Structure 1
Amino acid sequence: MPETKKEGFYFGLMMCFGMVCVMTFYNLSTNGLMGEMTLIELLMSLLVGYIIALLFEMIVVGPIAKKITFRLPFNKSHKWKIILILSTCMVIGMVFFMSFYGLIMSYANSGSMEHSFLREYVSLFIKNVIVAFPLQLLIIGPLVRWLFVKYVKTNKPMSAKAQ
């Protein structure tokens, strides 16, 4: 997909934006906070979550996911295999970090937890993976790849340039 650092940056911005928007609304609704927040609080939550997710994606998860993906022994001539493995690594890594963020924010808002931190974290991690994995593979991933190729990618195939 992205072939240059600039393209990679834009692709990351787009992918992160889509995932953070949906996952933020999912987590707010599962915690019963959708009707409790003002529009400004909601926008601030989205903005802060987006910035944190983007930093994790660019600095930690993205580079590690790429290293893992390209070191695994599989036929890399099949683009769909690369996308599937890279997306899986990204989802697991991002859910790992963003579940910590979500749990910390939840604790900051409520001031207490029902169970131990570890139990709350594992529960949140599992719930987020169950939603984030299909969301990434079936909705956000394909949508962002399509938008990226249509509006951002500079090295479009010759047939696309002729149109």
Structure 2
Amino acid sequence: MMPIAFILDMIFVGPLAKKITFRLFNPQKDNPVFIVLSISICSVWFMCPLMSLAATILFKGCLNSSIISVWLQTTILNYPMAAFWQLLFAGPVVRRIFGLIFRNN
């Protein structure tokens, strides 16, 4: 799952989330918190259905007529956890670690 998530985020979701965010917010005028939250929310908005589809195919073995219903159910169940995980844990931890590693001197 990790390679799938990495590829989807680097090639599709990351650039799309940034594109949407920078259409809505101006980095010179708007609060940086809004930009960070917008990128995080857009990432969850796109990654959750894509990764739920991958999980449905890989772990639930639904390559039949029920794939859409199982995928939708999996996505709906995953959204709350994905949003809270991104906004309250993973996002802040990764920003902190990267802030320490790539400190401006």
Q: TM-score range by the shorter chain?
A: 0.7 to 0.9
* Alignment check: 8 A CA contact 2:37 2:87 kept: yes
Distance change >3 Å, CA 112–CA 56, structure 1 → 2: closer
Question: Counterparts of 2:5 and 2:91 in 1: how far apart (Å)?
Answer: 16
**1:94 and 2:47 matched:** yes
Q: Highest relative contact order (Cα 8 Å, sep 6+), 1 or 2?
A: 1
Cα shift at 1:107? 3.4
User: 1:67-99, CA deviations, whole angstroms, 9 ceiling, x for partnerless residues?
Assistant: 111011x45430110011110000111112111
Q: Alignment RMSD, CA only? A: 2.0
**1:53 and 2:5 matched:** yes
Tell me which residue corresponds to 1:83: 36
**Any stretches of 5+ residues in structure 2 without a counterpart?**
none
Tell me which residue corresponds to 2:93: 143
Aligned length: 103
Code of the aligned partner of 1:100: L
3-state DSSP class of the match of 2:36?
A: helix
**Any stretches of 5+ residues in structure 1 without a counterpart?**
1-48
Code of the aligned partner of 1:82: I
* Alignment check: 8 A CA contact 2:57 2:63 kept: no
**1:107 and 2:60 matched:** yes
Q: 1:127 aligns with which of 67, 77, 88?
A: 77
User: 1:110-157, CA deviations, whole angstroms, 9 ceiling, x for partnerless residues?
Assistant: x788x8222111110011111010110011110110011112x15x1x
Distance change >3 Å, CA 67–CA 75, structure 1 → 2: closer
Structure of greater Rg: 1
Percent of pairs with identical residues = 37
**1:66 and 2:21 matched:** no
Code of the aligned partner of 2:93: L
